[in-house]
Structure formats: structure tokens, C-alpha cells
A and B are shown apart, each in its own frame.
Chain A
Amino acid sequence: MNSTPGQESESLVSVRNLYRYFNVSGGWLDQISISKGKMVRKVEMVKALNGINLEIEKGEALCLVGESGCGKTTVGRTVMGLLSPTRGSVHYRESRIDTLDRKGMLPFRRKMQMIFQNHHASLNPRKTVAKTLLEPIRFHQPELSLPEQRDKVASIMESVGVDAGWGARFPHEFSGGQRQRISIARALIVDPEFIVADEPISALDVSIQAQVLNLLMEAREERGLTYLFVTHDLSVVEHFGSRVAVMYLGRVCEVGQVGEVFSEPRHPYTQALLSAIPKVGGEKRRHVKLKGEVPTPIDLPSGCIFHSRCPHAREICSKEAPELVSAGEWTDVACHGVRENWF
């Protein structure tokens, strides 16, 4: 796996050969059908993750991008221990954490925080904002005095652009973007080492985005905070990320240093993705359209998972799944065509 240039790497989180399936065949009775006079049981699985490997180094911001439904949230939730893997493992420093129970997970809970994509579900509607923010401090840092706790809440609210006077209000009394800032504040308040941020700023307007991104970048510089950052906004990736992993149908198809991937995308999917970025004020960019539709993760294509939509696919692509191999100085790509230089 490639690392950030010029730095001795120290892996903080590693995800090894991760698989996660979801059973979607419904109840036992739904699974039974009669075929040619025989009873058959059919189990259908959504194959959300299909062998993901990621090394997240201390202090880096690894961005995860890819088509909707490709498994980004599932990676984040599995890393956080909110979902257990079907196969594979998750490690935090030297500890394997995916097999821990609630109690075993406790020491990691404060170090690892998640900002959820669905911030409506993540804030308790019956708690005021001040209460939502005080609770994690009380739980994780009981040594702080009450005034210290209050100060901390006030300063974190200010830093995410939330008016301190809002403390007495409930989540439903805020706009979408205001609520999202509150959930960001909640993740930052316990001084974590590692944050999984699932679309943390996509509900925010540009000026607040800038404010929150600056805040997250400062936390990274000053406290060495490490991020797994899921986003659809590629201009944010380019600005904020140190490395980027591009996913397609539960696999990583390209991973590398942000500057390199953006200036020279190698995987055909990455090329299509980068061409679809809407340009501010500018002319419409020629957007590389992919043929066909996204295959369903219930019946994964054989061979390379992308072959049915790939403009460069050859016979081997439908037969053999390409491995992630080094393709540029700081980039790994899983593509037969890139490895063998067809295009």
C-alpha cells in the first residue's frame, strides 16, 4: 500500500480483506418457492463490501469516494464497530477491534468518533443542544469540573459556527445545516484521535463548509487527528484529502495520493467520476458517460466488477478480477488495462 510522500508512515487503522453481506431475502417463508415440483430455498444477499483493504495512517485524511450504494457508509460503520464484518478484520493500532463486544469496545469509543450521514437520526430529538454536547464530556472526561465542561461546550459551539445562545433549543428547531454542525461539534468535543466523517459537510452551504473544513484541517494539524472522510464532493477531496480511495461496488478500484489521482486518474471509473464534476460558472465539461446501468450488488458481475460499464473492457476483464497493484508513484489501481497498458 502506498503512503503519503515524505513521511514515515504509522498505520492507525487498517481494514483487511473486508466483506459485508446483507441478507435481503425476507422472512423464511419468502425464501421458499416450488420449482419443478421441488421445494427450493433461495437466499439473496446484497454484497455491499467485497474484499476491501485500507491502511489509514496517523494524521492523514483518507477520502472515500464512489457511486451511491458502493458501500462507503458500510465501510465507515464497520470500522466503527457498528456493523460486524461478514469476513475480514479491522485493526486499531495493534488491536483487532471487530471482534470486541460492547465492553471491550469502550476504550476505543472515545478515540474513535463518527459523524453520520443522516444527522436527523443521530441527534436525540428530546435533548437540547447543550445537553447533547455535555453528555459525551461527562461520560468520557468526568475529571473536568462543571465550569470547565461548560467552557468546552461554548468554545466548540463557537468553532463550528453555532450561536452559543442556541444551547437551549431542540434539534427540530434548526435548519439541516445547523443540525449537521451540532453533530460535528459532538464528535469533536471528546478530543478523539480518529474520526469517520460520512458526508459531514454535504448539507452545509459553501461558507459554512469552508469554516468546518478549516476547523477539521486545523484539528488535523494541531492534534494530529486522522480522518476517514466520505464525500461526494470531489473539490473537497482535492482540497482536504491526503489520499483518496475510489470505490465501485464494494471494491477499491484506485487508491493513491490526491494530487496524483486528480491530475492523472488511471482507472476508467475514476476517469468518468472526475469528468462529472460540475464546474462553477464555467462551461459544461465533457462528461464521460458510462454505458449501461450500475449492476446490482445482489448479482455481482464476474471478473472485474466494472467490466460491464467499461469502455476499454476485453475478454479477460469478464473472467479475472484484477488485483490492486502499484501503478504510479503513489497510486495503486485494480485494472487489467492499466497494468497491461491498453489505453
Chain B
Amino acid sequence: MALLSIRNLEVVFPLRTGTIPAIQDVSYDLEEGERIGIVGESGAGKSVSAFAILNLVSQPGYLSSGSIVFEGQEISNADDETMRRIRGNKISMIFQDPMMTLNPVLTISTQMEETLLAHTRMTREAARSIAIEKLRAVQIPSPEKRLEQYPHELSGGMRQRIVIAISLLTDPRIIIADEPTTALDVTIQAEILELLLALCNDYRMGLILITHDLGVVSQISQRILVMYAGRIIEQGNTREVIASPAHPYTRGLVGALPEMTRPGRRLNQIPGTMPSLQSIPTGCPFHDRCSHVTDLCRSHRPDLVSGSRRAVACHHPLTG
């Protein structure tokens, strides 16, 4: 049985200007110890699909359908009490913006100790020493001193490392990390990725990593999910998908990497922009940016069809 099993998630935002379907039909499994990477265009629904797991979608959005099974228990309709026990305890979330986790008016020590005391019975001293241990794990120099500081006194990367330390406090079963290393320099990024990797291997922790850095995905995740306009459009083994993308959008994404162009030259762009979620075209949501478009693509949306290891939502998948 999978550690986490997600089926047909749909989240909508009712706005003044109409209802936005932010994600539709998102399904995947996460096994114990498995590491999944989610990539895709900005606004494609990566963060929303992760927030939905923990019932954290921001107002006025809500989970309009779908099922989420964690350790055999359906949690999509769980009450607040159950969710509180899971959130920040068995499933931790690292947000893209560290200030979503950190309270600006509390010192780091208060925030870390409170997190621990909320989920576990222990003394404040014990909580403090765990906090220091986790700060060391994410390479914060002089943790005792940093504990007494406020978030605004720390650099962007240091804040993010503290958030990562907070997410590790309760030894969670799953970490959902939304762009956890975007604000970090590559040396610290490398250390943190290694730390996450070790946790997955040693404690069979599951990891859902949202990132736009294909280098990071290649290094960390065994499986990759590519999202576009609210849906998963390709998934499979990370190496295989990056080496030979089957969906034209995935190919465009890989082709846009700076490494694919000589320095100083214009980078390859995918023409056009992702459609606004309020006006997703009929047929394939990518059709008006795709160079392989046919009439079929304009009229019928392709389903995510799975082969043995690869699934792709395209009428004319690329080969080789």
C-alpha cells in the first residue's frame, strides 16, 4: 500500500470574475522512501496541488473533489483536529516563501520550541536541544545565537534553512517541499538535498519536491510529474523523461535551459504563454503553443495515457 495515494484532485477558486479550476484530475501515489519531483510552468498548479493534501488551500479556494489517502486513512474530509495532528507532524510542509512559516514577531527559539511542544510532551530544555540539533543539520552557524534572533534579522537563505529545520523537528513521514532550495546558494543547496536524500533512505521518509530546477529534480527524485494548466501532462522516471521528453511542453521546458544555448545567445522560449485558467482552450490545453498541433488537438483533450513506466497526455507524443 502506498504511503500517500491521491486520486482525481480538483481545487477551484471562486473569484469575482468567475470560477478558476486551479487543478484538475491530479492523481499519483507516493511510496515509503520515494522521492517525487513536480515541475511545470509557473501558475500550473504545483503549489495548490501540494497545499490541497494538507487542506491548506488559501481562501476562497477549496478541494471540490478527489480523494487523499495517507497511511490507509482518507484525509480529504478529515476534521480540523485530525488534520492538526497530521500537519506539521506526520506530514511537514516547506513553503516557497519562508515567511509563510515564520512568525515575524517571535524569535526562532519560540517558534521551534512551540512547534515541538504542540505535538510532543517534553520539557522546554529538551525541545531547545532538539531545535539546536536540527539547526546544525541544516548548516546554520552558531545556532544558539540564531535562536534568539527574529526572522527579519536573517538572510533569505538562512530563513529558508530554519524553515527546513522546523519541518524536520517532528521526524515526519512525508515532507512536501515547495521550492525549498530556490533561495539558497548551490553549496548549501547541495548539502540540504543530501540531507533530504539521507532522510528518505534512512527513515523511509517520502518526499514531494516542487521545483523548477531540472538539475535539482534530476539529482533528487526518482519520478517526475510535469504539470501544465492545472493537470499532470507527463510522468515517469526522471532520467528518462528529461533525456527524451514525450510531451512537447516537457521538451520545450528542457530546451529552455541555459545549458542548451551558447552563453549570451537568446534562450529557447516556448512560444506564447500558458492560457489563463479561466479561458483554457478546448482540446489540448497546450495546443496553441505546440508546433505539432493537429485538428484533433484543437477539438479533443488528450487523457493521461500510461504505458509501462511513462504516462503522457498528448495525441502525438514525441519519440526518441
What residues of chain A have their CB less than 8 Å away from a CB belonging to chain B?
Answer: 22, 24, 26, 46, 65-69, 73, 117-118, 120, 161-163, 165-166, 168-169, 172-178, 181, 199, 202-211, 213-214, 217, 232-236, 238-240, 258-259, 272-273, 276-282, 284, 287, 290, 293-296, 298
User: Top 9 A-B pairs ranked by shortest CB distance?
Assistant: A68-B157, A177-B42, A278-B215, A205-B212, A210-B267, A239-B258, A69-B155, A210-B256, A276-B186
**17 interchain pairs, CB-CB under 8 A:** A65-B185, A120-B99, A172-B58, A175-B47, A176-B47, A177-B42, A199-B183, A203-B182, A205-B39, A205-B40, A206-B257, A207-B41, A273-B185, A277-B186, A280-B214, A284-B219, A293-B141
A177 touches B43 (CB 8 A): yes
Per-residue contact bits, chain B 139-159, to A (CB 8 Å; 1 contact, 0 not)? 101100100110001111110
Cross-chain contact A294 with B139 (CB below 8 angstroms): yes
Nearest A residue to B263, CB-CB: A239
Interchain CA distance A120-B96 in the complex, whole Å: 11
* Least distance between B230 CB and chain A CB atoms (Å): 11
Query: In the assembled complex, which residues on chain B have CB atoms less than 8 Å from the CB atom of A69?
Result: 154-155, 157-158
A118 and B273 in contact, given A210-B268, A296-B141 (Cβ under 8 angstroms): no
**CB proximity to A under 8 Å, residues B50-109:** 58, 96-97, 99
Please report the C-alpha to C-alpha distance between residue A187 and residue B63 in the assembled complex, in whole angstroms: 36
Q: Which of A26, A161, A238 contacts B273 (CB 8 A)?
A: A161
Q: How many angstroms between the C-alpha atoms of A295 and B140 in the bound complex?
A: 9
* Residues of B close to A208: CB separation below 8 A: 41-42
Per-residue contact bits, chain B 236-265, to A (CB 8 Å; 1 contact, 0 not):
000100110000000011101111010110
Partner of A66, one of B47, B179, B182, B185: B185
Of listed A46, A239, A259, A273, residue having the most chain B CB within 10 A? A239
* A279→B218 contact, CB < 8 A: yes
Report B12-34 CB contacts with A as 1/0, cut-off 8 Å: 01010100000000000000000
The answer to whether B183 and A165 touch across the interface, beta carbons within 8 angstroms, is no
Is A207 a contact partner of B256 (Cβ separation < 8 A)?
yes
- Check B269–A178 contact: CB distance below 8 A: no
How many Å from the CB of B96 to the closest CB on chain A?
A: 5
Q: A206-B213, A235-B215, A279-B215 are in contact. List 20 more A-B contacts (CB 8 A).
A: A67-B185, A67-B188, A118-B156, A174-B43, A175-B42, A205-B42, A205-B253, A206-B254, A207-B252, A211-B269, A214-B266, A217-B266, A238-B258, A239-B267, A272-B187, A276-B190, A278-B213, A284-B219, A294-B141, A298-B145
Q: Are B189 and A276 in contact, with the CB atoms below 8 A?
A: yes
Q: Quick one: closest B residue to A218, CB to CB?
A: B266
Complex Cα distance A204/B261, Å?
18
How far is B47's CA from A178's CA once the two chains are assembled, in angstroms?
13
Expressed in whole angstroms, the minimum distance between the Cβ of A235 and any Cβ of chain B is 4
Q: Contacts of B145 on A, CB cut-off 8 Å?
A: 296, 298
A239 to B187, CA, bound (A): 20
Q: How far apart are the CA atoms of A236 and B264 in the complex, in Å?
A: 10
* Shortest Cβ distance from residue B120 to the other chain A in the assembled complex, whole angstroms: 28
Complex interface: chain A residues within 8 A of B239 (CB): 281
Report whether B267 and A68 are in contact in the complex, using a CB–CB cutoff of 8 Å.
no
User: Any chain A CB within 8 A of the CB of B280?
Assistant: no
| Residue in A202, A209, A235, A276 whose beta carbon sits within 8 Å of that of B183 in the complex | A202
B187 contacts A163, CB within 8 Å?
no
CB contact under 8 A between A210 and B269, given known A205-B40, A232-B186: yes
Q: Are B259 and A178 in contact (CB under 8 A)?
A: no
Residues of B with C-beta under 8 A to A177: 42-43, 212
A284 CA / B252 CA spacing, docked (Å): 24
**A288 nearest CB neighbor, chain B only:** B187
Answer whether A22 and B153 are a contact pair too, CB < 8 Å, given A177-B43, A239-B267, A279-B215.
yes
Cβ B155 vs Cβ A68 within 8 A? yes
Q: How far is the CA of A342 from the CA of B17 in the complex (A)?
A: 67
Is the Cβ of B264 less than 8 Å from the Cβ of A239?
yes
B134 contacts the other chain (CB 8 A): no
Residue B276, interface by CB 8 Å:
yes
Q: Is the CB of A165 within 8 A of B276?
A: yes
* B97 nearest CB neighbor, chain A only: A120
**Cα–Cα distance between A282 and B13 once the two chains are bound (Å):** 39
Residue pair B267, A178 in contact (C-beta under 8 Å): no
Which of B44, B243, B276 is close to A166, meaning CB atoms less than 8 Å apart? B276
Given the known A-B contacts A22-B153, A178-B43, A207-B252, are A259 and B212 also in contact in the complex, defined by CB atoms under 8 Å? no
Residues of A within 8 A of B158 (CB): 68-69
Q: Are B182 and A281 in contact (CB under 8 A)?
A: no
> Within 8 Å of chain A (Cβ to Cβ): is B132?
no
Q: How many whole Å from A20's CB to the nearest CB in chain B?
A: 13
Q: Please give, as numbers and ranges, the residues of chain A lying within 8 Å of B264 by CB-CB distance.
A: 217, 239-240
CA of A287 to CA of B191 in the docked complex: distance in angstroms?
Answer: 10
| Chain B nearest Cβ from A175, distance in angstroms | 4
Given contacts A208-B42, A217-B266, A273-B185, contact A278 B257 (CB under 8 A): no
| B215 partner residues in chain A, CB cutoff 8 A | 235, 277-280
